[in-house]
Structure 1
Amino acid sequence: MDNRSGSVLVLTNSSDVTADAVLRVLAERRVPVVRLDPGTDLHTGASLTATYRTGGQRGTLRTSSRELDLTAVRSVWVRRPSSYQGPPDLESQDRRFAASQAFWGAGGILASLPGAHYMNHPWNNRAAEYKPAQLAAAQRCGFQAPETLITDDDREARKFTARHAGGTVYKPVWNSPYSVDGQARSVWVREVRSREITEAVRVCPHMFQAKVPKVFDTRVTAVGDRLFATRVDSPDLDWRYRQDRMRCSPIDIPAPVAEAATRYLATFRLAFGAFDFAVTADGRWYFLECNPNGQWAWQPAETTHRIALAIADELEGGHGQ
């Protein structure tokens, strides 16, 4: 079946303005699109059904405005759907049970649509989000990466920081939600010294990296085989901390970095990836991480538009592209 004539299914939350940039392009091209936030919509009128039997499977997604044959989906864009939390009117234990059933049931259906092209498949997204796996793959694919220690041993952490005269930084291995007095807080990348490291490290794994003597950062957004690079100049070690103070401009990608990025995407079977690099004065690009579902609409307008067009091409082409 040629799914290039079918619908594009976009899984994201209702306030995702980044997705809107691509949906506008698809609308201009008259590509049919169904937008769904399964974590919430399936509790507010939408329904999902799948039938499996010898010889094939069938499935239907019903929303307040349409009915979608799941075998006719050409592409699935897994953007930023809400987590499965269960109906809010249930008691805590029942709600947790319902959320778990939705994750494994609805999530499993949406991750197993026959013939659909995924960007990215949710299971590939999850595999590519582990920082240790990223660093291991980066080395195999030919990237340069700063020396890194992940440990829950404070003695090892102190030895690591003492060994790097150029400095050491700390970053979380996962962007876990954290709040103080009910207010959400972010844990930014920051420099750390041996004397600051205490036995509190033993609570969980911590990630320490040799500080790169960078002169600027670079974001490389990969869509299929197309790469879009933006130079980021910021007064902060972590440019995300005060984005109003950063300056962005286009930059060319060295061929070895582009080739390594292609190998990296193939390793995790990704159609999209947001790479972050620290670039030194002598032109070395150090791999920091690759977010398989990173934000990209904060970049200069021309770059953002080109990325939106590339994503629309990927989704419109479907599995047969």
Structure 2
Amino acid sequence: MTKLLVILGITGNQGGSVATFFLQKPEWKVRGIARNEKSEACLTWAKKGVEIAQADFNDPATLKDVFAGATAIFVNTNFWDPFYNPAIQSLLAPGQTINDYCFQKEVQQMKNIADVAAKVDGLERLIVSGLCDASKWSNGKYKWVYHFDSKANGIDYLKETYPGLSKKMSVIHMGPYMSNWKGNLRLRKAEDGSIRLVIIKGTQNSLRPQIDINRDTGSLVHAALEAEPGKNIVGTAANLTWPDQFKTWCDMMGLPYGGLDEMSLEEYSKLVPVPGLGREIGEMWLFMDEFGYTGGEENVVLPEDLGVPCLLTSWEDYIRLEDWTDVLAKLK
């Protein structure tokens, strides 16, 4: 009997990876949800065999029909979507930051999704791409990791409001993306020709989970569905310190490793031109260093602990598989 997987956010990195993986599974049919079913990306997925449906996470009425018949649902809400939209600035309340706006938006989206998913007849599993509550687990020390807290608050609402749905759920705490090394990190060429990397002071020795989000999300979701529900799965193929990861990259690129430029949170925040982003990312690194990636979450497991196959991409393989031309050109 064919099973139906509904993917929220088919055009994103995570949703696309899940669709690619499950299209290879004849026992599964894939339905992808997007805001614009006529977009070029959606039309491309339709040609590959994905059933495309249109819905708006901000409008729960649009979710009822697209969830109908689902055996499993994969949920990934997008905190960052409004963050880089200049038009959103006019919607902020007096004194409200864009970070808080994105937080409120994502929490409400998760509530809308939970409200509808709880009423889907025949739904067997729910896999949520989530993160831990950094403010909670740090006892309020780190209050600016909004993109963690928003996902955690939405999941808490689901657990408290729909215990039956919660029993069908597993959460994948997606690690930092390996793809960040292709543009979102600050690399520079020093005067002596060596390559250096900017990090937040005091975080160089902490182990950080890393995942190839485009290649491996599908494998993680499949493993989560094959395993028993109720898990907090760390989406990681490698746990690496900054120096170890950076040295490996430099060695494989044939570049001289120059070390790390450590900055305070305040210095880093000023360095990042996007308002609110520097502090958001800086506090995330500090939280990870002090409290771990999942804070005090219960039932935390690694992919290899699930007892089912879950093939993931190592950091070394990721480096080999990617084209680094643009990154290297900026370091000349």
* Larger helix fraction of residues: 2
**Which TM-score band (shorter chain)?**
0.3 to 0.5
In the superposition, the TM-score normalised over structure 1's length comes to 0.35
TM-score after normalising by structure 2: 0.34
More strand by share: 1
Could you say which structure has the greater relative contact order, defined with CA pairs below 8 angstroms and 6 or more residues apart?
Answer: 1
Larger Rg over CA atoms: 1
